[in-house]
Amino acid sequence: MKITKICCIGAGYVGGPTMAVIAQKCPHIQVTVVDLNEQRIKDWNDPNTDNIPIYEPGLSEIVAEARDRNLFFSTEVEKAIDEAQVIFISVNTPTKTYGKGKGMAADLKYIELCARQIAKVAKQNKIVVEKSTLPVRTAEAIKSILDNTGNGVQFQILSNPEFLAEGTAVTDLLNPDRILIGGDTTPEGQNAINALVDVYANWVEKDKILTTNVWSSELSKLTANAFLAQRISSINAMSELCEKTGADVTEVARAIGMDSRIGSKFLKASVGFGGSCFQKDILNLVYIAKSYGLNEVADYWEQVIIMNDHQKRRFSNKIVQTLYNTVADKKITFLGWAFKKDTNDTRESAAIYVADDLINEQAKISVYDPKVSRNKMLSDLDYLQTRSNEENSNSLAIFDNAYEACKGSHAIAVLTEWDEFTTYDWKKIYDSMHKPAFLFDGRNILNAKEVEAIGFIYKGIGS
């Protein structure tokens, strides 16, 4: 089968960038991204591509090149499903907040709704691609829905998980480590796999495109995220030991990172990992292990989450303890709210939880983040349901620049590793603050000796 029309259900952090790159690299394929959120689609279609809803370096240029040529954003979901040969499902799969598996299992209600809508609309054979991160054997459930509620149409289900890091998503899409495609071992399944391989082969070397059975593909995504999160929790555990012993976690990380068996990536101590994937996927892995009676396996992976939560609490406790065991009515400035640099995504950001802890201690939080809006910050705090919207609003002040945010504050906490933070006139910032002035570098991006020379009382993770 030669693919000429693709539909993607879901215009979020995965669907939008992935489809934009496919459209750019495959001008012969019509790519339509659909979503029920009218405002999100309107934003994707904004003539000023700098206003598209997702910030990723290089993304706006790609969208500008392909949009209205062979890349389209629409709310006409059923029309796009009907016309497409390949349908990517890229909707949210949050952790369940109710019922069996609450707090651990993935909530698949949006996946099921997509499958039922595809089954209702499709009049010709389709390839359905899982792009969302899903529990192993979800493809089985999707196929059951499609085969039993459809119109006699033949469906092939493929798993094609994303391996994108927010902030470098465009680079990851243009130059991937690998593309993973899982499908049935039947002749029809292999034909479907080959059709999708041919799409990616327009810009990805064939030896980087791996094909497996569908179950291996689904589990590989969860496993990759679990391994990466494990490394972060491991170095964060060592950061606490470093603080107690006088070792420097940055030096320890550099020393072990030079071991070719270990490598240097994901060994940077921090306030903890955030984002939409790591915690959700590990909790999902824990739930799957428990459902099979593998309690020791579940306990092992759950400890990664426990360590991550501990690191966030430890950072907020360090701020309180250093500021003479009280932050009541003190102005604490946060530099950064996004969970990492070069993205406007705040899901599971450490900043949310550190802010929540400090507001509970009656601190006044001032925030500067170059890409996150006030409304998003407030909605993040409201989601925790710790206090009323009015209380959150009164405790959180958002500024358009770091210098104003830091003026008159008792302490600064660096919560996101934005590059611009390393370029500031820290002497000017120090002079505008209450004395003594404290600087808590939760991402270890500043030069400790330089900021201490200015006069800050510097507290970095693991130092």
Catalytic residue flag (residue 162): yes
Closest CA to 16 of 3, 32, 39: 32
What is the 8-class DSSP label of residue 30? E
Catalytic residue flag (residue 277): yes
Catalytic-role residue among 96, 126, 131, 221: 221
How far apart are alpha carbons 173 and 374 in whole angstroms?
30
Catalytic-role residue among 56, 130, 162, 348: 162
Catalytic-role residue among 8, 26, 242, 277: 277
How far apart are alpha carbons 94 and 106 in whole angstroms?
6
How far apart are alpha carbons 76 and 190 in whole angstroms?
31
Edge-first strand listing for the sheet containing 438-441: 396-398, 364-368, 331-335, 411-414, 438-441, 457-460
Closest CA to 155 of 117, 129, 194: 129
Name the residue with tokens 């604490």. 332
How far apart are alpha carbons 371 and 345 in whole angstroms?
9
How far apart are alpha carbons 425 and 84 in whole angstroms?
54
Which residue type is seen at 9? I
How far apart are alpha carbons 40 and 262 in whole angstroms?
41
Q: CA angle 137-82-60, nearest 5°?
A: 80
How far apart are alpha carbons 44 and 54 in whole angstroms?
9
327 Cβ neighbours under 8 A, 6+ residues apart:
319, 320, 358, 361, 362, 363, 410
Closest CA to 202 of 4, 25, 5: 25
Catalytic residues: 162, 221, 277
